[in-house]
Structure 1
């Protein structure tokens, strides 16, 4: 199923645009601006890129080579199959870490594709010790997020003998909330962790973590969502100068005049209180538009906002054009999540991560910029 979806994404990026399908426009030059922005925030650290989930939904086959050409040579993915695909795309030179580590039968696949597992348990350490043939691996210590990683309390029990450890890492739970006490607690713990592994590179911060201060940055920063122009930070960290990378364009497939008392969509949840001009868009939950849209969810036409009306259907949504000075035509597009990805996500009760990674394969990926 993943392979089928991957092939569909490839088809959508290679053929000429299909007018009736929604389009995701990806600005690769903006992506590289954000990559360089993080280089400036952490000048004493290497910058790696986390390209999980098809590069956060934007298309790994285009995103990864652009970042490689810009100088990134260390990448992280979640699953081994993502690592296999990335190795095929980028060739033999980059370092690729697999965050989920390995199960007993997966060591050979990792070795065949020169992938480095992130070892998260004592069992994974034992498997790689026996089957990894001395190849490099990372070790993940859980300092407080309580997901993957060996618990900090088990630090003294770790046996790293006969392992070629090249990276010690942990993951911040609350980096976007600078005042949260867990940040300082995790930093204190991670500082103790790396003392147990002298001479091995350390990686602690994610996108938001780079802004907590140089003491959080260590040798390697792992940048994910920040590459795509959003960090969803709490107010204390201010508003970084990030560049939007993606915008979704939904085609208008029909125009209608809605009269007072007429209703829209399944469940008739919206009723017109006046005569309204509306547009039906080819954009629905099968394309990644959440069904959880709220009253503040909006699209944009030439800089003017257009509210969404009624429930999201599988393939369609209706928007109100009544307040526009210039009425669009069938075949023109309503824009979503470009300059306002975070407010758009908030209005849907979601995070920017969810919005981007939920964009379906049938949405055409169209790449722009010199890096394209």
Structure 2
């Protein structure tokens, strides 16, 4: 962690986003935010007290993420997306003992969870994941009913939910999503009175027919829209801003260069600032010569290649720039040129990747 890199997380923005999601899903649907990968890089340590107050449960990717939530004192519903049968027995047993709901997607996963339940002498609660067209994890749809019957017949294991995941809910063309939805409906019709869930951020925002009993929004909780065509569906407020300090200011004459490969030539006498952030900190190298940062409220273009732990910016047109000035690397203003969504466009990626990469090497603080 680098103390001179700070991610400020707005509590009011997160509360606003959660309220917007609550309004969309209505009172009968549970809200279970996805907090995997350290809340998509936003910092579980600072966000946990806020989210724990506002949520009906948490969804995580890995067993250790689930156990970490229990370690923070959370006693409510936790869904772990990945089965633990590749982990050692101690972790498998702890998941059952700590009453963490695990995902079953195969007979081998069921057998592993059942064995752990027997070792600790406690019933394991599970949700069945069905692959309805994502082509990734989940029991194939044609085998789902048989696996439901196996789970219901298993000792020490209780089936409490069933879910699927959409491959294209964030796209304007919805035919594939509706095919997945219809297939899921045909399976849950025979699953009995258990919790049904399917909606990710995009489906939560734009497809109310997918809400069922619970939704699992991810990036929307943190204020980013999952795709451009959904930006008008609901007002979300980005909660993260990232700041660094200017560590050097130097003059480069017209015709000079900065950075590896000498990819930017200055066509005038210029002042160049050095910012201590780079691709090792999650700031993408392919933002070189494309992105801007803000210093004293003014744009400073990134010039030259982004290095592992520093980059150079043109501060020629910003008066009174000095070492120690704050550098706004990422703005929480969704209209700013250095907001997460615009940086994702420049980098040819998605907001999820920007925030997840940036979160790991900096200090997080909760503000307002």
Within the candidate set 160, 170, 185, 1:176 is matched to: 170
Q: Distance in 2 between matches of 1:327 and 1:42?
A: 50
Q: Distance in 2 between matches of 1:355 and 1:63?
A: 18
On the 8 A contact 1:288/1:355 being kept in 2, the answer is yes
Q: Distance in 1 between matches of 2:355 and 2:231?
A: 23
On the 8 A contact 2:77/2:101 being kept in 1, the answer is yes
> Which residue of structure 2 aligns with residue 330 of structure 1?
323
Q: Distance in 2 between matches of 1:203 and 1:229?
A: 22
Alignment partner of 1:78 is 2:61: yes
Structure 1 residue 197, shift from structure 2 partner: 0.8
Q: Distance in 2 between matches of 1:25 and 1:237?
A: 23
Alignment partner of 1:359 is 2:354: no
Q: Distance in 2 between matches of 1:236 and 1:311?
A: 33
> Which residue of structure 2 aligns with residue 108 of structure 1?
93
Aligned residues between the structures: 349
Cα RMSD (Å): 1.9
Deviations 1:123-179 (A, max 9, x none): 112222343342211110011111111011222432222331111111111111132
SS of 1:218's partner is: coil
Within the candidate set 29, 32, 35, 1:48 is matched to: 32
Alignment partner of 1:69 is 2:58: no
> Which residue of structure 2 aligns with residue 267 of structure 1?
261
Alignment partner of 1:246 is 2:230: no
> Which portions of structure 1, spanning 4 or more consecutive aligned residues, are displaced by more than 6 angstroms?
none
Q: Distance in 1 between matches of 2:84 and 2:162?
A: 17
> Which residue of structure 1 aligns with residue 71 of structure 2?
88
Q: Distance in 1 between matches of 2:222 and 2:195?
A: 26
> Which residue of structure 2 aligns with residue 5 of structure 1?
none
On the 8 A contact 1:100/1:120 being kept in 2, the answer is no
Change (3 A) 1:337 1:175: farther
Structure 1 residue 294, shift from structure 2 partner: 4.7
Q: Distance in 2 between matches of 1:215 and 1:287?
A: 40
On the 8 A contact 1:23/1:366 being kept in 2, the answer is yes
Change (3 A) 1:127 1:152: same
Q: Distance in 2 between matches of 1:308 and 1:227?
A: 29
SS of 1:22's partner is: strand
Q: Distance in 2 between matches of 1:223 and 1:98?
A: 15
TM-score between both structures, scaled by the size of structure 2 = 0.89
Q: Map 1:314-329 to 2 at 5 A.
A: 314-324=308-318, 326-329=319-322
On the 8 A contact 2:288/2:304 being kept in 1, the answer is no
> Which residue of structure 2 aligns with residue 160 of structure 1?
151
Q: Distance in 2 between matches of 1:205 and 1:61?
A: 26
On the 8 A contact 2:282/2:357 being kept in 1, the answer is yes
Structure 1 residue 63, shift from structure 2 partner: 0.9
Structure 1 residue 250, shift from structure 2 partner: 1.9
Unaligned segments of structure 1, at least 5 residues: 1-7, 13-17
Q: Distance in 2 between matches of 1:187 and 1:360?
A: 33
Within the candidate set 38, 43, 46, 2:21 is matched to: 38
Q: Distance in 1 between matches of 2:228 and 2:192?
A: 34
Structure 1 residue 301, shift from structure 2 partner: 2.7
Structure 1 residue 191, shift from structure 2 partner: 0.7
Q: Map 1:174-213 to 2 at 5 A.
A: 174-213=168-207
